A and B are shown apart, each in its own frame.
Chain A
Amino acid sequence: MKLLAATVAVALPVLLSACGSAEKPVAQANQISTPGVLVADAWVRATVGAKDTTMTAAFLSLTNPGSTDLKLTSATSPVAGLVELHEMAMKDGKMVMQQKAGGVTVPAGSHTHLSPGGDHIMLMKLKSPLKPGDELPLTLKFSDNTTHDLTVPVKAFAEEEEHYHPTPTPK
């Protein structure tokens, strides 16, 4: 057991270097048994020029260096009236966007990528349009009760617009 703890302690800096901008790496390094999820490469799609400027999506990469699966359970941002975790799923032969039941799993010892066309964090009821070059605060909550406060850049992206537009969220 002692050996295992030691190897995990060694593994953590490796994953930090792999995934870059981890939040509070020092605090996490002290929690060897449950190192928590590392967050990297976060960005939000700009809404300027879009048909509907009240909603957009945030994308990022999550790494779980621990030995237990963890989940991203919720996200909040002061710029959005409502934030949901969404997935793209096939329904009646059509790709639709829907809320992700139970959150986004980050498997032990693995990565999960939230990216255009896949799972994403949906920011709705935006208080104002988001321009490339803006930044916004985003707080992530995980199943191990950790939270990550991020500052996320807004970037232009020519993703098919309908992916992030009012396909009404199924109840």
Chain B
Amino acid sequence: MTGKPSRRQLFGYAGAAAAGAAVTAAAAVALDDGQAAPPSASRTISPYGAHQAGVAAASPKFGELVAFRLLTETDKAALGRLLRLWSADVVALSNGRGAPGDVAPELAVGNAGFTATVGFGGRVFELAGPRPGGFDELPGMRHDRLQKEWTGGDLLVQVGADDAVSVVHAVRQFVRDARPFAAPVWRQSGFWNGTGADGQPVTGRNLFGQVDGTGNPRVGTPEFDATVWDADGGTTLVVRRIRMNLETWDELTRSEQERAVGRKLSTGAPLTGVNEHDELDLEARDADGRPLIAANAHARLSHHSENDGRRIFRKGLNYVHDAGTARESGLIFLSYQADVAGQFLPLLARLDAVDALNEWTTTIGSAVFAIPPGFRPGGWIGEKLIG
């Protein structure tokens, strides 16, 4: 099986480096003694770093989350073995290679913006040590109609890529490798379009048609870091499966739909603004003295100025779930924050109490995971806690 790979095979993963194109060219000269191929834009995301790469990465086109229950015989040492082999899978799959022992390695393709993120439920900390300060379960909410098949879990693997085949293939390997240690309790898959018609990144829309995620802190800013990362470089993830009643939503006029959110459907701009990222004017009133952004509008209630400055980092995946000809539509709501109780829970409680959107949405699944920090070559995910 010794073969001379093409330069592309050998150096095709270089794009994640800061100066990817330049590095590739230099390396090709050094090792191949030939002309460097013209560098192509790489969508490979390095799995290594202070944080797990999937958290801050742009929303993937396709995503799947799998929650696992630890088998009763899985102790702390066994959990370490699982995390070491999952980490090796993450490295290989992120670089477009089959996982070690992959039964269908040809389904792993590079350049697909692949990420895989591992999370820990409460049971892990019963086995392995104290919970991170920011990790907490959520109490039941008044509007919740939680179903067991979408709720809880001891471990999470969240896979994303711009290619659905890569996602499904990777999940198959993670589940297969987990078999001696843990069994799936739920799986949720969904899709998101974060690219506009001109190829530029956009916020993306949920299935109500709303631009969804405008208020997020921008990746790479101090505000983002303070919102998302704990002192170790980890974070927490809240997963809420939110069923949307499209039939009754569709009965509303567009202005009724816009009033419920407080933003325009066309651009996502606040009803008081012109462009998507215009700041909300929460004081503005119409001729009759009513607030332009209603008191129970989603955008007002979730705005950080109305929540003592508390922020979260929101992502989402749209989902459809078919049973015969009946289709359920919804949103896999994903929220990252350093501190669940300090940042997310007050916001959730406020929205649960009065959000206008509650009339058309029902949360049917809920889970919280601690997302441990990232890892470096030779290391593994969760090493600090389990190692």
* A residues in contact (CB < 8 Å) with B: 4, 7-8, 10-11, 13-25, 40-43, 45, 59-61, 65, 67, 104-115, 118-119, 131-135, 151, 153, 155-158
Contacts and interface: CB of A to CB of B under 8 A. Distances in A.
10 closest A-B pairs by beta carbon, nearest first, are A133-B180, A7-B30, A118-B1, A20-B91, A11-B27, A109-B31, A155-B101, A43-B100, A153-B85, A18-B13
B91 A10 contact: no
A61 to B, nearest CB: 8
- A interface majority secondary structure: mixed
A155 B5 contact: no
Nearest to A41: B100
B266 to A, nearest CB: 42
A17 B31 contact: no
Contact of A14 (B2, B23, B181): B23
Contacts of B27: 7, 10-11, 14-15
A135 B177 CA distance: 13
B148 interface: no
A65 B31 contact: yes
B84 A17 contact: no
Contacts of A15: 10, 27
A40 B91 CA distance: 9
B314 interface: no
A18 B11 contact: yes
A112 B10 CA distance: 11
A100 to B, nearest CB: 11
A11 to B, nearest CB: 4
From B10, B27, B101, residue with most partner A Cβ within 10 Å: B101
A45 B103 CA distance: 12
A64 to B, nearest CB: 10
B14 A18 contact: yes
Nearest to B74: A133
A8 B31 CA distance: 8
A115 B4 contact: no
Interface in B73-91: 78, 81-82, 84-85, 87-88, 91
A19 B91 CA distance: 8
Given A112-B2, A153-B81, A156-B179, A20 B377 contact: yes
B10 A155 contact: no
B92 interface: yes
A113 B97 CA distance: 12
Contacts of A18: 10-14, 95
Contact of A25 (B9, B78, B85, B377): B377
B32 A109 contact: yes
B2 A153 contact: no
B29 interface: yes
Nearest to A115: B1
Contacts of B95: 17-20
20 contacts: A8-B30, A8-B31, A10-B27, A11-B30, A14-B11, A14-B14, A17-B13, A18-B13, A20-B91, A20-B92, A20-B377, A40-B92, A43-B100, A107-B4, A110-B3, A110-B10, A113-B2, A155-B100, A155-B101, A157-B101
